[in-house]
Structure formats: C-alpha cells, structure tokens
C-alpha cells in the first residue's frame, strides 16, 4: 500500500491500514481488524478517516478490500462480507453505502454516501430537513470528518439528511454542488459551522445566499484578524439576527475561540441567540442540543 502509517487514527482504522501496508497484505490481520468494527457508524468513521487522509491510497474500506484482495483471496473476502452482513450492510462491498436503520422517524431509513468533500447520511424521505456541517481543524490527530460524529451520532438527528465535511480544508461551494446533485427537496436547510469551518462556510455562503437557509449555527468559529473574515461574519449576523445562532467560549473580556474580541462582542450584541460554553469542543454539545430542539419545534 502506497501510504505511510504516520496519520493518527482510532484503533480500528489504524489496524485496517496496518494490515494492508508494506510489500504484501496481511489478509488474516485485515479480516480481524474489520471483525472489530462494532456498528455501521464506526464503519462510516473509518471511511471518513481514509477519505480525509492525504497519504491514503484508498478512500474507503470498500476500496481497500477491492484493491488488496484478489481472486485467490476469496475466503478472506467471504469472511469480510459475512461481517458486513452481520452489521446489516450486505451490499457494502458492492455499493460502498453504509445503510443504517434510523431510531424512529417519518422515513425509517437512512443511507450514508461518500462524496468528494464529505459524507452525507441521506434520509429516504427527500423532503427531510437538511443539516450541512463544516467542522474545524484537526483535534488530537483526528480530522473533523471523524470527530464531528461524536456530536452528530446516528440517533441524534434520525429524521434529517446530514452532511459532514471531511475536514476544514474542503471546498464549501463544491460540497454544496455535490449535495445539490442528489435531488433533495428539504423542508428546512440548516448550516452548522464549527471553528475552522468558517472558511468553507464563506465559500458556501457566497454560492448559496443566507436567505436560502432556515438557520446558520456559528459555533465558536475562528475569525482572527483577517478583515474580510470579520466583515463577512459580523455583517451576516447583523443582516440575519434571527437566523444566525452564535455559540462562543471565553468571558466578556476574552476572544475565546474567535481570536477577535471585538467581532465576538459585535455578533453577541447583534443576534437574538448567543450562548457561552466552558470549552471549545463543548460548544458543540450546547449547539447540537439546540439544533435538535429547533428541528423538532
């Protein structure tokens, strides 16, 4: 396999990559690593790790299995296929879709699809609310395309279609173009920007006007000293005080995660909903709770 093992992953993903590294594939180790996958959500996380890893030759477990196991590896492929069938994913090796059953909801089922800029969990009801999530920079060696699933679990928003970007380095406008190609007709559209997600968020909002979104969540977004960034988000808050929801860290005299105290104060004073958090990552807990309640309202 043509990548290095210097990219920090959670254990299952690291074991899968290690089994396929080097001059030859360790088929038994690969089967054992895949056997450790507990849920379809875990598989989606592993696929997200591979998709976001710049050193990875393969962008999903499906691609890895197809690329590393040949005709004479039939017994290993059958063992892997059996594992996916046990997870309720009998068609994963053929389609690459990690289908999971929703907890409860109007449609009952969702399917996870891999796009170039992220993963989207598509509700079988095309009119289900759409949530677009652009996460921040890497945290503890994990890309946001992985750690944002800590907050957007499969049962968090079972009645929605939810897109989670691979990382903060994606192209926001391209992500929207790919989402639009799916032919969805959502009753609500919600944009969720966390930390470094501010940058692809600007790209997206320059493509899709704020008026087209029912709500825009700014979750401890980085603003910094860049004048264009400050002007963009303070104007967004001023123009749409009901639509923009702002979550921040730090006290009244601290810039917190925004790294721009003046901008932070201006947004807080402008929007109709702003809430503080004790920690940068913890702001997601508060924001996602509000988001769930807003969608159910």
Domain boundaries, the chain: 11-95, 102-296
CA terminus-to-terminus distance, the chain? 49
List the beta bridge partners of residue 98: 112
pLDDT at site 17: 82
List the beta bridge partners of residue 219: 194, 247
Q: What is the CATH number of domain 102-296?
A: 3.40.50.1820
How many other CB atoms are there within 10 angstroms of residue 239's CB atom? 12
pLDDT, one tens digit per residue, over 155-165 is 888 889 999 99
Report residue 228's pLDDT band, with 50, 70 and 90 as the boundaries. Answer: very high
- Using a cut of 0.85, tell me whether the model's pTM lies above it: no
Which tokens hold the place of 102?
């929703």
Q: Do domains 11-95 and 102-296 have the same CATH topology?
A: no
CA dihedral sign of residues 47, 51, 52, 56 = positive
pLDDT, one tens digit per residue, over 254-290 is 999 999 999 999 999 999 999 999 999 999 999 999 9
pLDDT, one tens digit per residue, over 79-127 is 888 888 777 777 777 765 554 433 333 444 678 899 999 999 999 899 9
Separation CA 38–CA 244 (nearest Å): 37
pLDDT, one tens digit per residue, over 4-26 is 333 334 456 778 888 887 777 88
Length of the chain: 297
pLDDT at site 97: 58
The fold for domain 11-95 equals: Annexin V; domain 1 (1.10.220)
Q: Which residue has the tokens 């002007």?
A: 231
């Amino acid at each position: 396999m043509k990548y290095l093992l210097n990219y920090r992953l959670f254990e299952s993903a690291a074991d899968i990559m290690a089994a396929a590294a080097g001059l030859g594939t360790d088929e038994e180790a690969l089967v054992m690593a895949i056997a450790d996958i507990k849920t379809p959500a875990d598989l989606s996380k592993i696929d997200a790790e591979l998709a976001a890893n710049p050193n990875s030759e393969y962008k999903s477990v499906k691609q890895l299995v197809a690329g590393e196991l040949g005709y004479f590896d039939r017994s290993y492929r059958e063992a892997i296929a059996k594992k996916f069938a046990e997870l309720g994913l009998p068609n994963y090796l053929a389609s690459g879709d990690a289908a999971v059953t929703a907890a409860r909801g109007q449609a009952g089922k969702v399917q996870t699809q891999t796009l170039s800029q992220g993963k989207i969990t598509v509700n079988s009801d095309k009119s289900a609310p759409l949530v677009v999530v652009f996460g921040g920079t890497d945290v503890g060696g994990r890309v946001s395309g992985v750690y944002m699933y800590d907050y957007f679990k499969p049962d968090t928003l079972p009645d929605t279609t939810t897109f989670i970007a691979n990382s903060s380095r994606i192209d926001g406008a391209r992500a929207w173009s790919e989402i639009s190609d799916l032919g969805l007709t959502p009753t609500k559209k919600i944009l969720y920007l966390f930390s470094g997600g501010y940058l692809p968020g600007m790209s997206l909002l320059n493509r899709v006007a704020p008026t087209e979104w029912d709500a825009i969540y700014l979750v401890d977004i980085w603003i910094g000293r860049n004048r264009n960034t400050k002007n963009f988000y303070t104007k967004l808050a001023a123009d749409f005080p009901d639509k923009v929801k702002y979550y921040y860290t730090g006290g009244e005299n601290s810039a917190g995660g925004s790294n721009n105290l003046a901008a932070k104060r201006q947004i807080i004073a402008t929007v109709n909903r702003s809430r503080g958090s004790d920690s940068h990552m913890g702001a997601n807990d508060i924001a996602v709770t509000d988001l769930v309640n807003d969608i159910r309202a």
